[in-house]
Structure 1
């Protein structure tokens, strides 16, 4: 299968590192012109340069309506929107205040709402478009130490399903992609102390964490960011035209359901 996204413009939010960067890079390799987004100018420009001539960067904080508007003004029309921007901060339910809930909600959910609402109409006019929400296995397997995060990821899956129904028959598909534990920069930072202390390979420590915290994993390891990006890019492709309103799992089999 050859995915050709020539003459398409893709916006990937939160794409200076991790899954977002891998997705932006693979979309560019498939021929798309890619807009890279991060909160800071330097990191955003560095990521765009690393991807190459098919990429340009727009720095904007998507945790606010003003930041979303800044991104929209500079981005213009896009054919593909990957709502990847997100945060997660472990915190016990009884110690998580309204501010933390609100911050997670604004970044993880409302950024996707605002950008999709603004960019989808032009996709509809052209009769083609792709919108992808980054959910998580935590959308269904709510983590007890991050209830607030799990709720926002469940909302992203619901948003994708509802918007797909709203855009039925337009040529614009909307789906959510659900990663499991992934060797992103944040995950690497989380296990870095154990890697240094034990001297063991990063992948081995990551696999041990997965089996301790997510024992239903079938692959019994963390995924790479490229493995998650593979599914994102397929979902953005012309070949995925019959897939809409779906929650697509790349969780290593953690969610124990048929």
Structure 2
């Protein structure tokens, strides 16, 4: 019987923290694949703009809210639109990295699960730029939207022809939104605080930011959500088995997350 002062990892069946060096390499690889993998599908400007018109028309057919309305709300003040641009430019990577670091230190089994899900979604998302290059709405004159980052700053993109660090014709899916949604879901699953549902504010704000700054369409976020849903259906979160110790105290034991159909 384990005393309450012993670490959770001493519990039979608990998951040991993965080796740090290996995880640093894996997470660094995930970010590099995301950052540089899209460059392999650069170009296709005419096709990307043609697909942008198709997406814009499809959204109107589906009666989705207009991206113009969201951007108009941001443009009521320079401060608000500048904050939105800053959120887009600075929160995406640090928030995801902080999420993974916290899970690694505090919830090792949940960390393994979350890392697998993020890797699966990122890998799947890199396929679409090859098969469906898509220009963001800020490049679509018919949308009536402006490039808020270029006008108000800060901007993370240069002119598409000279931008060698990103593929601006890879708007679908929005990994900004997909990763933000996974951060929220991961923290909700891994914690028990009554306030944990407030983590959903992160993907909600991210959604308004990517739409209002004209970097993504609604359908980009919907596609990312579908990919994340598929990954979550295939990659199980760690199960928590309640055991009784001492005076009725319940301890939670995390088991290794597994793919559907895989042995545990």
With the length of structure 2 as denominator, give the TM-score of the two structures: 0.26
Q: Bigger relative contact order, structure 1 or 2, given CA contacts below 8 A and separation 6+?
A: 2
User: Which structure dedicates a bigger proportion of its chain to helix?
Assistant: 2
User: Which structure dedicates a bigger proportion of its chain to strand?
Assistant: 1
